[in-house]
Structure 1
């Protein structure tokens, strides 16, 4: 069973959304990969909140005031042990300092939220169950 971390990531105040996305994609992900090596998640998927012309979140349920983040990241691990190895590497002294310093460059760290997910189910458009399959190199 895969084990996932879902992060609700707010942009650092004063930073444009384009700069937020650019930093996450071109600086933070390569840094994270270099810090944890083979223990990088099976996938690290980033979703960016769609905004209307006036900057509000394009919300389909609830209101824009309910969306206090600019990106959602889903980090999928092979199992809890894989997640724990990843976390241990991120929390090593030098790695933790580099990771924290980089987060401060583009994330409102005080407003960052996350939740762990165990059991995951998906249904395909034909109604059948869809299992999680890793696409990429392991």
Structure 2
């Protein structure tokens, strides 16, 4: 049965939303893929959804395009959904990510664009989708 997790990533102070997305897509994802790309350990899918932050605020904060709620509710910049074959594949992936030599390289890259203090992750339960 597929095993899914959501990751909530926030850009580092001083990084624009475009810089954040560019680094995540062109540097970080390929790096993680290359370092933990063993059969059975990579996710089946790695979906990234970026919050719309179209215009810089007065303080160069790039507020989210909030429809309901407040800016404080949307402190993250990207919601990442990772899907693994099963819980064992998920555990194998994260064990690989934490191996000495790999952990330091990935952590150093994340330091360039992520605010690690605001990073959040959660395991998903049942996923139900209605298509209209």
Give yes or no for the alignment of 1:94 onto 2:101.
yes
Alpha-carbon distance, 1:5 to partner: 1.3
Number of matched residues?
A: 125
How many angstroms apart in 2 are the aligned matches of 1:119 and 1:81?
Answer: 18
- Residues 59-138 of structure 1 aligned to structure 2 (within 5 Å): 59-125=66-132
How many angstroms apart in 2 are the aligned matches of 1:64 and 1:58?
Answer: 9
Q: Which residue of 1 aligns with 2:49?
A: 47
Give yes or no for the alignment of 1:57 onto 2:64.
yes
Alpha-carbon distance, 1:4 to partner: 1.1
Alpha-carbon distance, 1:43 to partner: 0.6
User: Runs in 1 of length 4+ with deviation above 6 angstroms?
Assistant: none
TM-score normalised by L of structure 2: 0.89
How many angstroms apart in 1 are the aligned matches of 2:17 and 2:75?
Answer: 13
Secondary structure, in 3 states, of the residue corresponding to 1:60?
coil
How many angstroms apart in 2 are the aligned matches of 1:17 and 1:59?
Answer: 15
What is the root-mean-square deviation in Å for CA atoms of aligned residues?
1.2
How many angstroms apart in 1 are the aligned matches of 2:128 and 2:73?
Answer: 26
Q: Quick check: 1:6–1:73 contact (8 Å CA) kept in 2?
A: yes
TM-score normalised by L of structure 1: 0.85
